[in-house]
Amino acid sequence: MRIMHSHWLFGLLSTSTGILGTPLVYDTTTGERDTTFIVKHSWSGTPKGWRLHSEPTSDHMLKFHIGLKQGGIDEVIRHLYEVSDPAHIRYGQHLSKEEVDELISPTEETTATVSEWLQSHGIHYSDCYASSAGDWLQLTVPISKAETMFNTQYHIFQHEKTGEYTLRSLNWSLPSYVHSHIDVAAPTTSFTRTRSMKKTSFLDPHVPMIDDLSGGLSTSCSTSVTPSCLRTLYNTANYTPTATNVNQIGIAGYLEEFANFADLKTFMQKFRSDAVNANFTVTLINGGANNQAQPGIEANLDTQYAGAMTFPTPNIYYSTGGSPPFIPDDNTPTNTNEPYLDWLNFISNQTTIPQTFSTSYGDDEQTVPEDFAVRVCNGFAQLGVMGSSVLFSSGDDGVGAGECLANDGSDTIRFQPNFPASCPYVTTVGATVKTNPEQATSFSGGGFSNYFAQPSYQASAVLAFLTELGTTNQGLFNASSRAYPDVAAQGQSFQVVIGGATGSVSGTSASCPTFAGVITLLNDFRLSNNKPSLGFLNPLIYANPSAFNDITKGNNQGCGTNGFSAGIGWDPVTGLGTPDFLKLQTLLG
């Protein structure tokens, strides 16, 4: 048995024989552990967009996530592709949480070695929390101890544009004997800011506001977007969910963004009067809050449109803490700003989770160390193999914002992909605008990862695009890697209620919950017919491009270029296009 449960993980330690009698491996020459430090990750200098601000006090407390090497993540990925492929005999046969835990549980050697390393620093079981699979540990230590454990030095950095602070190191290392047993430790060298993917500000004066409460709303999304026009545009208006006792949609919230109950009621009164009793529940993670006095633009956008698209399906808003700003002169609170890890660890430890997740946050892929990105991406794969569809906004900077200089010290100009949008185990949503026909927005994030290989499910679609592209943008992107977005939805001039007032918000932040709403209805259709939820979507959608409205106009400029252009078939601006619920429903019937 390989599952290591948190309540006994360290209780089975012995001073010389390890766990479950597994002997600890020593250097055969010296008979002692080789404690030479080997670098896990380092930056060549302070990452682009950040500057060194000051030094923290040595007793400042840090909460760490330590990711032990998973025993069978390759098996998880194999299962993921089999149960997500509509042509495979195992399609829809998702794994249980217990089965996933069994696969990813670290080997006994890994657990014993990491435990010995922690003990060498005076850290015992009572100092740690372990995930149900034993592949993640959480512990809180002062900076002085962290610097010793990881052979590094922590600094306070300030973001040059936003002014926010973060506490990070420019490198971290591990002793050679434990080096291969730990994938990641955080916070260390990840400089991601977990940005909200909303392009324009609340109360955009250039977009007409809709204040008519009579219910006579336009079904066209050509000027201002409302639930009425979205439900008409994507053919969901006549579908009524019935599997509401089992089906759920989850909205991931970060950065102290609070969803407001009163604003939701006002929104529904104005834009979907039959759903005036719609509501959502709030789950707090890692010190997340639910401050009803501070309604957030992002949080309200997500909950209002997810709710309007899926009513009366239960909606859960996950308010995850661990966010900036870090206060440089505050010596006592912990600081992590690793919200994806907090959210993933919480969700993966639940026995029941929503069948659909929508997340409208991300950052430049290059700000995230590759090993960290891979581990987080694998976490999303675990949700997919358990039957959940995980959707992310593609980003609001086209092919990249600013000068688009590489963060590896070379200062090479290249397109800047977003993460987690670039993860091959999530479904990434770009943005459209106008109707008859829809076309790509100029800000719709899209491109090619610099970390992740191109998955087989999209190989032929991407090849067709690249063949048509020719030498355009040559050298600015990695044509052999994971390409995104996968799909798209409206993303401009969404009517949102904030603090009782109606304003206009644009961005792939709006596109993601809209598309996720359509998927939630499809899951309802499946579940109400005693079929399993969809789970990981990408193999299904790439095998059925005709179920989407192909977008052939527009481009996603950035990095001083016109970016990529939308065209026939898949493209890195709008993916396969926008959803047609009726076609997808027929496909899944």
Q: Does 18 score more than 80 pLDDT?
A: no
Token pair for 235: 């053919």
Q: Which of 108, 135, 302, 396 is catalytic?
A: 302
pLDDT in the model for residue 346? 93
At 26, the pLDDT band (50, 70, 90 cuts) reads: very low
pLDDT in the model for residue 408? 80
pLDDT in the model for residue 362? 87
pLDDT in the model for residue 350? 93
pLDDT in the model for residue 328? 58
The residue type of 247 is N
**Mean pLDDT along residues 505-528:** 97
Rounded to the nearest integer, the mean pLDDT of the chain is 89
Q: Does 10 score more than 60 pLDDT?
A: no
Q: What is the DSSP secondary-structure string of 536-579?
A: S-HHHHHT-GGGEE---S-EEEETTEEEEE--SS-BTTTBT-EE
Q: Does 29 score more than 80 pLDDT?
A: no
Q: Does 20 score more than 50 pLDDT?
A: no
pLDDT in the model for residue 23? 36
Q: Kindly give, in sequence order, each residue whose CB lies less than 8 Å from that of residue 566, ignoring residues fewer than 6 positions away.
A: 439, 440, 551, 552, 553, 554, 555, 573, 574
* Numbered ranges of CATH 3.40.50.200 in the chain: 219-588
Please state the residue numbers annotated as binding site: 550-551, 569, 571
Lowest mean pLDDT among 25-29, 67-71, 287-291: 25-29
| Spatial CA neighbour of 42 closest among 232, 170, 227, 140 | 170
- Separation CA 184–CA 145 (nearest Å): 17
Name the helix (H) or strand (E) containing 142. Answer: strand 136-142
Token pair for 290: 């639910």
pLDDT in the model for residue 127? 79
Cis bond before residue 437 (omega within 30° of 0): yes
| Residue 140 DSSP code | E
- As a whole-number percent, the residues of the chain with pLDDT over 70 amount to 88
Q: Where are the alpha helices (DSSP H) in 272-326?
A: 297-310
Q: Does 126 score more than 50 pLDDT?
A: yes
Q: What is the DSSP secondary-structure string of 422-469?
A: T-TTSEEEEEEE-SSS-EE-TT---EEEEEEEPPGGGHHHHHHHHHHH
| Residue 14 DSSP code | -
pLDDT in the model for residue 59? 87
Q: Does 13 score more than 70 pLDDT?
A: no
Beta-carbon-side half-sphere exposure of residue 132 (alpha carbons within 13 Å):
15
* Residue pLDDT, tens place only, 233-288: 999 999 999 999 999 999 999 888 899 999 999 999 999 999 999 999 999 998 88
Based on the residue annotation, tell me whether 509 is a catalytic residue of this protein: yes
Q: Are strands 578-579 and 548-549 parallel, antiparallel or unpaired?
A: antiparallel
* Residue pLDDT, tens place only, 177-217: 999 999 999 999 998 877 777 665 444 556 666 654 434 45
pLDDT in the model for residue 15? 29
pLDDT in the model for residue 332? 40
Q: Does 2 score more than 50 pLDDT?
A: no
Q: Which of 108, 298, 371, 396 is catalytic?
A: 298
Residues 70 and 106: beta-carbon distance below 8 Å: yes
Based on the residue annotation, tell me whether 14 is a catalytic residue of this protein: no
* Residue pLDDT, tens place only, 37-81: 999 999 989 988 899 999 988 888 888 999 999 999 999 999 999
The C-alpha angle 284, 318, 324, rounded to 5 degrees, equals 75
> Which long-range contacts link 277-282 to residues 24+ away (Cβ below 8 Å)?
277/312, 278/307, 278/308, 278/311, 278/312, 278/315, 279/307, 279/315, 280/251, 280/307, 280/314, 280/315, 280/316, 280/317, 281/314, 281/315, 281/316, 281/317, 282/316, 282/317, 282/318, 282/319
pLDDT in the model for residue 209? 61
Q: Does 19 score more than 80 pLDDT?
A: no
pLDDT in the model for residue 244? 98
Residues 83 and 385: beta-carbon distance below 8 Å: yes
- Separation CA 162–CA 551 (nearest Å): 34
Please state the residue numbers annotated as binding site for Ca(2+): 550-551, 569, 571
In sequence order, what E strands does 299-417 have? Answer: 315-320, 356-359, 361-364, 389-393
| Spatial CA neighbour of 101 closest among 343, 320, 385 | 385
pLDDT in the model for residue 9? 37
Q: Does 170 score more than 90 pLDDT?
A: yes
* Residue pLDDT, tens place only, 324-383: 555 555 444 445 566 788 899 999 999 999 999 999 988 899 989 999 999 999 999 999
- Separation CA 577–CA 581 (nearest Å): 13
Q: Does 513 score more than 60 pLDDT?
A: yes
pLDDT in the model for residue 16? 29
Q: In what order do the strands lie in the sheet with 165-169?
A: 50-54, 154-159, 165-169
Q: How far is CA 418 from CA 369, 447, 448, in A?
A: 13, 9, 9
Q: Are strands 389-393 and 427-433 parallel, antiparallel or unpaired?
A: parallel
Token pair for 11: 């209780």
Name the helix (H) or strand (E) containing 347. Answer: helix 339-348
* Domain 219-588 listed as CATH 3.40.50.200: yes
* Residue pLDDT, tens place only, 298-316: 999 999 999 999 999 999 9
**Mean pLDDT along residues 551-564:** 96
The burial of 71, by beta-carbon neighbours within 10 Å (0-12 exposed, 13-18 middle, 19 or more buried), is given as buried
